[in-house]
Amino acid sequence: MEMFKPFVLKDMTLKNKIVLPPMDTYCADNEGNVNDIHFNHYVSRAMGGVGLIIVEATAITQNGRISDHCLGIWEDSKIPGLKRIAEGCQRYGSKVAIQINHAGRKCTAKADFTLAPSAIAFDETYRVPKEITKDEIKEVIIQYGSAARRASEAGYDALEVHGAHGYLISEFLSPITNKRTDEYGGSLENRARFLIEVLKEVSKNWPSQKPLLLRVSATDHLPEGMKVEDMVKIINMVKDKVDIVHVSTGGVALAPIKTYPGYQVKYADIIKKECQVPTIAVGLIRTEELINEILGNERADLVAMGRELFRNPYFVVQTAWNNGVEYDYPDIYKPAFPGKR
Ligand SMILES: Cc1cc2nc3c(=O)[nH]c(=O)nc-3n(C[C@H](O)[C@H](O)[C@H](O)COP(=O)(O)O)c2cc1C
């Protein structure tokens, strides 16, 4: 089965093509520290056989948190906790990435102010952000670089830059949230400038032999927003710095999104073909049949399962067993998996 074939990206070899996408568990303390709930959650998915585990949106700075209960990577004291998760998952043969994020105008955490390309609130329930100055842009870019360095020191196999869902990078990319008149706003090239500068700084602080993932929203699902054609151009601008693109959609502004199994796969497919880059497909992928369809038809290179892996951390192990696939089950479970079915 295609999903059980290994996948190689730079120095990282995944034992299968199933990914746990980053999913905020909103259970950190107010200081963004790792606790046992995080550890148990991620290590359970590793014991369940997930090839690549991407740790949830982890804030590069305090006012870059989505909520008061997001994980943080803004200071070196966060490294040991994050390292514990990475090592715990690696023990079971999973590879581990961490998603680094600045929430921009979607920060709901306690903070003196929030930052965004333009001073426009997401809606009436959010604060009006401060328009980020060029000096603050420089500062935030350095924070991305420091976060990458910490992720490397914590032993992560890969790093994902969160460029999706209407957080800071995505706010720069979308014409809905970026009304700037300087070199960071206006044309697509200008709106991509912040992302490009972030990726440059991250690359300086992240080992070149380890993969760098970029998560994007391929479309804002709104006529005045980003379209997949725009995202294709952006990926073409940054693909020399990115090893795989994790293709999601939406989140910049409220939009009507028609959802159905695999509803975002077409965007992963377009970016894969038009930009000639590996992609991860995500969004309501819950069955072996759909995974086979996506991988078999080469519509994406990897498949992420979010809520399904929340419901069933053992999806991979069970699918291997149900299909008689040779599989290296965790030692303690071997009595239940005596050989090929
Ligand atoms: C509770 C929850 C938390 C999420 N947190 C994040 C996050 O931290 N970073 C991110 O990029 N996406 C996040 N997402 C989006 C998921 O990664 C995924 O794209 C989405 O759930 C669709 O996949 P699914 O239908 O397989 O669940 C979150 C989704 C949920 C439901």
- Whole-number mean pLDDT of the chain? 97
Average pLDDT in the 137-149 region? 98
101 phi and psi angles, rounded to 5 deg: -145, 150
Record the tokens describing residue 2, joined without a space. Answer: 């295609």
Task: Tell me, in angstroms, the distance from the centre of ligand 1 to residue 322's CA.
Answer: 27
Which DSSP string corresponds to 67-127? STTSEE-SSGGGHHHHHHHHHHHHTTT-EEEEEEE--GGG--SS-S--EESSS--SSTTSP
Q: Show the tokens assigned to 161.
A: 């830059």
* CA–CA distance, 210 with 244 (Å, rounded to integer): 12
Instruction: Give the Cβ contact number of residue 76 at 10 Å.
Output: 12
The first and second tokens of residue 132, run together, are: 């980020």
Ligand 1 centroid from CA 337, angstroms: 31
Cβ of 21 below 6 Å from ligand 1: yes
Quick one: pLDDT at residue 117? 98
Question: Which of the four pLDDT bands, split at 50, 70 and 90, describes residue 340?
Answer: low
CB of 22 shorter than 6 A to ligand 1? yes
Which residue is closest in CA terms to ligand 1's atom 25? 284
Name the closest-CA residue to atom 14, ligand 1: 23
Q: Read off the DSSP letter of residue 266.
A: H
Q: How far apart are CA 327 and CA 318, in angstroms?
A: 10
Give the domains, in start order, of the chain with CATH numbers. Answer: 2-336 (3.20.20.70)
211: left (phi over 0), alpha (psi -120 to 50) or beta: beta
Beta carbons of 149 and 98 less than 8 angstroms apart: no
Q: Which atom of ligand 1 is nearest to the CA of 307?
A: 27
Q: Is the pTM of this model over 0.85?
A: yes
Q: What is the pLDDT of residues 205-223, one digit of tens each?
A: 999 999 999 999 999 999 9
d(C-alpha 70, C-alpha 311), whole Å: 21
Q: Could you give the CA distance from residue 312 to residue 322 in angstroms, rounded to a whole number?
A: 15
For 176-191, b where at least 16 C-beta lie within 10 A, e where not — what string? bbbebeeebbeeeebb
* Nearest Cα residue to 214 out of 229, 192, 186: 192
Position 338 scores a pLDDT of 81
pLDDT tens figures, 25-70: 999 999 999 999 999 999 999 999 999 999 999 999 999 999 999 9
